[in-house]
Amino acid sequence: MADSHPLALAQRPRRLRRTASLRAMTEETVLRPADFIAPLFVVEGKAAPDPIASMPGVFRLNLSDLVKECRALAKLGVPAVALFPKLDAKLKDDEGTQALNEDTLVLRAVRAVKKALPELTVITDVALDPYTSHGHDGVLTPARDDVENDRTVALLGRMAVLQARAGVDLVAPSDMMDGRVGAIRRALDAAGFSGTGILAYSAKYNSAYYGPFRDAVGSAQAAGTRLLSKATYQMNPANRREALHEAALDDAEGADILMVKPAGPYLDIIRELRSATTKPIAAYQVSGEYAQIHAAAKLGWLDLARCRHESLIAIKRAGADLILTYFAKDMAAALR
């Protein structure tokens, strides 16, 4: 017969889990719409929103629909958007010259959004992969076997100045070239844009989770494959200490916000950076993370709403102050 006498326990952690109100009172990590940055894809023309097959609920938007989406996000309390262009393949070349066109798609998108919603924070990607015919984040060496670091950095500085002139609040170098944050900071300051911030992709790993994003912007297809290796400039997923080194360099070169990408598989890196710096930490819940949650939910294996929330709570709990996520709109609506 079981012993019915209670255990003599001074500590019973379950006491504070007994009711919903007690659980709410002792909740350590809280998500808010203001924690989110919504990545948005923009295309030319007036066509209806173009669905991205590998990212359910995510669309490529023309300029008019982009502004409408930004209005909807702002009403839900999402404070920022990150814009990514999908260019016509005919505009791409080996040098990514369209990136330096003062009327290129993303700059027109910035101007349209800032005109309609001046208080919305607008972030733009500083990298050449949407513009190059080979899909890499910079210009290639003469042998075409690698990305040429220093020549690429010079182009990134010019890109950042154009983006600042269009009205962006934060430029976000995602290329992982050595020295690019310092070069961009100098270029911005010299052009009179000392108030434009830098959100640096400080620890961007050479991840298999980027596939749907490359479909969305057409960077992998530019090279004729979905599997485009960027191992000579993006970080080795096996490395932890290297992330601290990269982040320290970006910090010293003038980055205002440091970012880890991807987020979910790299929670330990987010925590490491949170312990190493007092600057804000961002994390990018990438397309593959988003897609796998949706895929498992579609098969009935996971609860979409609960897994969406839990995945984002984990990223914030690890130490991220800001989260780029394709769940931003739905999550903000659910929280409100």
Residue ranges of domains in the chain, CATH in brackets:
29-335 (3.20.20.70)
Which pLDDT band holds residue 214 (cuts at 50, 70, 90)?
A: confident
Strand partners, 239: none
Classified as helix, coil or strand, 91 is helix
* Phi–psi pair at 62, nearest 5 degrees: -75, 175
User: What does pLDDT average to over the chain?
Assistant: 94
Stretch 309-329: mean pLDDT = 98
Contact 196, 167 (CB under 8 A): no
Helix, strand, coil percentages in the chain from 3-state DSSP, rounded to 5: 45, 15, 40
**pLDDT tens figures, 60-104:** 999 999 999 999 999 999 999 999 999 999 999 999 999 999 999
Interval 9-32 mean pLDDT: 97
Q: What SS3 state is found at 248?
A: helix
Q: Is the pLDDT of residue 226 over 80?
A: no
pLDDT digits (tens, 9 = 90+) for 261-277: 999 999 999 999 999 99
Q: How far, in Å, CA of 169 to CA of 93, rounded?
A: 28
Residue 116 has pLDDT above 80, yes or no: yes
Q: Which residues are catalytic?
A: 204, 261
What's the start-to-end Cα distance of the chain, in Å? 51
pTM beyond 0.85: the answer is yes
In the numeric block, which tokens belong to residue 199? 């959100």
Tell me: cis bond preceding 79? Omega within 30 of 0 counts. no
Give the pLDDT confidence of 150-200 residue by residue, as tens digits: 999 999 999 999 999 999 999 999 999 999 999 999 999 999 999 999 999
Distance in angstroms (rounded) separating the CA atoms of residues 210 and 160: 23
Residue 100 phi/psi, 5-degree rounding, is -105, 10
Q: What is the pLDDT of residue 1?
A: 55
Reading the block at residue 144, the tokens are 């075409």
Q: Which of 156-170, 199-213, 241-255 has the lowest mean pLDDT?
A: 199-213
Helix-then-strand count for the chain, H and E: 12, 10
pLDDT at 3: 63
Q: How far is CA 238 from CA 132, 189, 192, 209, in A?
A: 28, 36, 40, 15
